[in-house]
Structure 1
Amino acid sequence: MKRKKHKISYINRKTPFDYFLILFFVVVIFITLYPFINVLAISFNDATDTLRGSNMLIPRVFTLANYEYLFTEKNLFPPLMMSIARTLVGTISGVICTAMLAYTLSRRDFYFRKIFTAMFVITMYVSGGLVPEYLLITRTLGLRNNFLVYIIPGVIWVYNVILIRSFIDGLPEALQESAKIDGASDFKIWYRIIVPLCKPVLATVALFLAVGQWNGFMDTYLYAPNLKTLQYMMYEIVNKTGIDPGNTHGQNVEVLASSITPQAIRMAITIVATLPIVIVYPFLQKYFVGGMTLGAVKD
């Protein structure tokens, strides 16, 4: 008689070490998320109640006064629109220009590609410095207090060029050769073949550019103080020690000071500044991981 083989399943068996790992990662997740949750709770909590203690996970006295103060007294809407505009325009133009340059440097029939690649890489280690950059942007290009000062200086990042070029080098050359035989131009090959195949790495570069544009404030401080962005306003508010009575627009300063504190304002503007990136990142995460891994592999 044949003996029946009994299959032993280890799927549902958990060892003490497994429970330890689960507990450990739960603690790590809590430690990671607690600062953001705490900032969110304080931003929605009554400012005077926060003075009793700011260690909280949920608002003790829920209020929208902090956000109302930001968008009315601090006139936060124009800087928010400026940040959105520079992020959208800077990201789209940066992705297009970077992808074009990377495709050009990936072409093996481009005779000077090694020379230009070396020149670009050198700029990653050696720069002209802040003073030449300031003189170039303000005097030579005349971009002071011009919206293009947010776009032109950061339209090409060498690291992104190398990332996209490495991804293109991993694509089959037969695709481009067959397109050439069919009479396709270089530009048509780029936007009909290369761009669709490079979606993962392009999404990765777009995320890099969007985060850089959204978080930038030094360029506003140096070149465009009249075109204030949300991050620059956050920088100004965080560096203030108290409420500015000159921005109360005729309201009762004592009432305002009793209901609003600098800590509450800092927390509220921190949430406003970080929320767009927190919302966008999950949708680009899979492309981000794929672009970082596939972009470094060559056939």
Structure 2
Amino acid sequence: MEVGVTCRNKKDITLLKIIKKNLFNIFLAIIFFFIICITLYPFLNVLAISLNDPIDTMRSVNFIIPRKFTFSNYIYVFTQNDLLTPFLMSIARTFIGTPVSVICTAMIGYVLSRRDFYFNKLFTFLFIITMYVSGGLVPEYLLMSRTLHLNNSFLVYILPGVVWVYNIILVRAFIDGLPYALQEAAMLDGANDFKIWYKVILPLCKPVLATVALFYAVGQWNSFMDTYLYARKLPTLQYVLYEIMESAKIHIDPHAVTQTTQNAVSPMSVRMAITIIATVPILLVYPFLQKYFVGGMTIGAVKD
């Protein structure tokens, strides 16, 4: 009897030692689990509402698992308009506008980071001013429509947002952190400015360029105001989804459910379905760019 009690006490003491030793790790695990829950809950809630029965949506019966699954909200979205052409237009502006913007941003950031460029501080100051002072919507509309004649032109999706000042600052700050000796060594080898930018700077800037590319891609994919103002004849997916969402003005009385209303949709469910449709494609890009977010300057410097 005493032997059994002694063994049990030893096991309890060992368990307490293990708990005390890993108490901080357990605390971190609980914190991270809580952060994951509060991060995933909004997305799961939106997904649940998009797949939820419209009557349950009107009654706010939705958490992260729909009580009654239905695809009527997605059927409503895809049957209201031909989404193939707007979808291809959004893909085209994203896959064309993003590389153009990244290249231009990398060039400007490299020029502003050059120590032998006498006006780098002046031009940096002029770029930063545009972040706080804007010309306004009316001058921009007159510039695009009357001066540049970009109405209903695909270039209206590319030229106005070809560079963002914030991204230029990011690229310049990253290049400033690179050893300037690499550029000097390339100069001694006879490389010109373009070859230094292309063969020395760009390979080292993969992490920041991936981040900037993601910013540009998300901005291109989610933009619909430029379509609304300048290019309604070239509608993008976001603009068409916005029109569908505005037209979904169906009001269902939760207390008067009939067999004919079971396949109806609610405005809230349609909005959530549109959110999922617009979000999922851009989420698929993250795994391909994630590997470029990690990596050091030294690793890039020793590459051929």
Instruction: Normalising by structure 1, report the TM-score.
Output: 0.80
Partner of 1:145: 152
> 2:229 aligned with 1:261, yes or no?
no
Deviations along 1:85-107, one digit per CA (max 9) or x if unpaired, are 21121111100000011111112
Q: Is the 8 A contact 1:97 1:156 kept in 2?
A: yes
The one-letter code matched in structure 2 to 1:91 is T
After TM superposition, give the deviation of residue 214 of structure 1 in Å.
Answer: 1.5
Alignment of 1:58-207 (within 5 A): 58-207=65-214
1:240 to 247, 257, 276: 247
> 2: distance between equivalents of 1:208 and 1:76?
24
Against the structure 1 CA distance between its residues 20 and 270, is the aligned structure 2 distance closer, same or farther, given a 3 Å change threshold?
same
Q: Is the 8 A contact 2:152 2:231 kept in 1?
A: yes
Against the structure 1 CA distance between its residues 182 and 18, is the aligned structure 2 distance closer, same or farther, given a 3 Å change threshold?
closer
The one-letter code matched in structure 1 to 2:93 is R
Show structure 1 runs of 5+ residues with no match: 1-8, 244-253, 292-299
Against the structure 1 CA distance between its residues 197 and 256, is the aligned structure 2 distance closer, same or farther, given a 3 Å change threshold?
farther
> 2: distance between equivalents of 1:100 and 1:256?
58
Deviations along 1:168-214, one digit per CA (max 9) or x if unpaired, are 11111221122222222211111111100000111111111111112
Against the structure 1 CA distance between its residues 19 and 180, is the aligned structure 2 distance closer, same or farther, given a 3 Å change threshold?
closer
Against the structure 1 CA distance between its residues 185 and 22, is the aligned structure 2 distance closer, same or farther, given a 3 Å change threshold?
closer
> 1: distance between equivalents of 2:36 and 2:60?
23
Larger-Rg structure: 2
> 1: distance between equivalents of 2:61 and 2:94?
33
Deviations along 1:11-55, one digit per CA (max 9) or x if unpaired, are 753688876665555444333322211221222234355445431
Partner of 2:299: none
Partner of 1:296: none
Against the structure 1 CA distance between its residues 154 and 256, is the aligned structure 2 distance closer, same or farther, given a 3 Å change threshold?
farther
**SS state at 2:67 partner:** coil
After TM superposition, give the deviation of residue 151 of structure 1 in Å.
Answer: 0.7
The one-letter code matched in structure 2 to 1:174 is A
Against the structure 1 CA distance between its residues 83 and 59, is the aligned structure 2 distance closer, same or farther, given a 3 Å change threshold?
same
**SS state at 1:110 partner:** coil
Against the structure 1 CA distance between its residues 172 and 53, is the aligned structure 2 distance closer, same or farther, given a 3 Å change threshold?
closer
Partner of 1:250: none
Partner of 2:8: none
The one-letter code matched in structure 2 to 1:280 is V
After TM superposition, give the deviation of residue 221 of structure 1 in Å.
Answer: 1.4
Partner of 1:42: 49
> 2:281 aligned with 1:276, yes or no?
yes
> 2: distance between equivalents of 1:187 and 1:129?
36
**SS state at 2:70 partner:** coil
Q: Is the 8 A contact 1:201 1:288 kept in 2?
A: yes
Q: Is the 8 A contact 1:71 1:77 kept in 2?
A: no
Instruction: Normalising by structure 2, report the TM-score.
Output: 0.79
- In the alignment of these two chains, the number of paired residues is 273
Deviations along 1:219-250, one digit per CA (max 9) or x if unpaired, are 1111112222222223223333526xxxxxxx
> 2: distance between equivalents of 1:82 and 1:64?
25
**SS state at 1:127 partner:** coil
Show structure 2 runs of 5+ residues with no match: 1-15, 251-258, 297-304
Against the structure 1 CA distance between its residues 79 and 10, is the aligned structure 2 distance closer, same or farther, given a 3 Å change threshold?
farther
Deviations along 1:147-177, one digit per CA (max 9) or x if unpaired, are 1111101111111111111111111122112
Against the structure 1 CA distance between its residues 187 and 19, is the aligned structure 2 distance closer, same or farther, given a 3 Å change threshold?
closer
> 2: distance between equivalents of 1:22 and 1:190?
44
After TM superposition, give the deviation of residue 277 of structure 1 in Å.
Answer: 2.6
After TM superposition, give the deviation of residue 68 of structure 1 in Å.
Answer: 2.9
Against the structure 1 CA distance between its residues 119 and 66, is the aligned structure 2 distance closer, same or farther, given a 3 Å change threshold?
same
> 1: distance between equivalents of 2:183 and 2:24?
53
> 1: distance between equivalents of 2:189 and 2:208?
27
